[in-house]
């Protein structure tokens, strides 16, 4: 009986110290994905040129493109660690295609959380490294779907 209690306490302490794996949720959830990769050529309309590397792969920057693109990330919510807590990060990405007449806005959300305690170390940089590629894929899929629906025809 003593061994069972001893091992139960050990297991509980280990789980508390180690924490659980990082969980991730991407919104909007894309149920049907496009099989085709549709390329959008756009001028980058921001002085934050480092953001170009975070664009979805189907957005190609071209200085003489007929449309412009703005891209930004926002941390919506972060959680604080207490003795036993979930460490959370909610990120939002906004992608805006526009010209003088029309605009198309696409948004993606990434929610990450990890069970943490004062004894387990996690930081938000790791969460961002998980979120950004998932957001890129989600935005890429949304662009493909909008392209197939003809929504980008407004720029022709």
How many Cα atoms occupy the beta-carbon half-sphere of 154 within 13 Å? 13
Mean pLDDT of 50-56: 92
Percent of the chain with pLDDT over 90: 48
Domain boundaries, the chain: 21-155
Q: How many residues does the chain have?
A: 156
CATH architecture for residues 21-155: 2-Layer Sandwich (3.30)
Instruction: Identify the residue with better confidence: 148 or 117.
Output: 148
How many Cα atoms occupy the beta-carbon half-sphere of 62 within 13 Å? 11
Q: Is 94 exposed, middle or buried (0-12, 13-18, 19+ CB in 10 A)?
A: middle
Q: What is the pTM of this model?
A: 0.78
For residue 83, pLDDT over 70 is answered with no
For residue 18, pLDDT over 50 is answered with no
What are 131-150's pLDDT values in tens digits? 999 999 999 999 999 999 99
């Amino acid at each position: 009986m003593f061994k069972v209690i001893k091992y139960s306490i050990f297991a509980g302490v280990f789980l508390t110290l180690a924490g659980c794996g990082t969980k991730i949720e991407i919104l909007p959830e894309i149920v049907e994905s496009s099989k085709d990769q549709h390329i959008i050529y756009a001028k980058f309309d921001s002085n934050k040129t480092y953001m170009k590397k975070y664009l979805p792969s189907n957005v190609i920057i071209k200085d003489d493109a007929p449309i412009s693109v703005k891209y930004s990330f926002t941390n919506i919510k972060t959680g604080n660690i207490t003795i036993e807590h979930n460490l959370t990060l909610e990120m939002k990405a906004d992608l805006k295609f526009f010209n003088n007449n029309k605009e198309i806005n696409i948004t993606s959300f990434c929610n990450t959380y990890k069970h943490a305690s004062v004894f387990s170390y996690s930081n938000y940089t790791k969460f961002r490294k998980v979120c950004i590629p998932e957001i890129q894929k989600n935005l890429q899929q949304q662009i493909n779907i909008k392209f197939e629906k003809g929504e980008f025809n407004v720029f022709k």
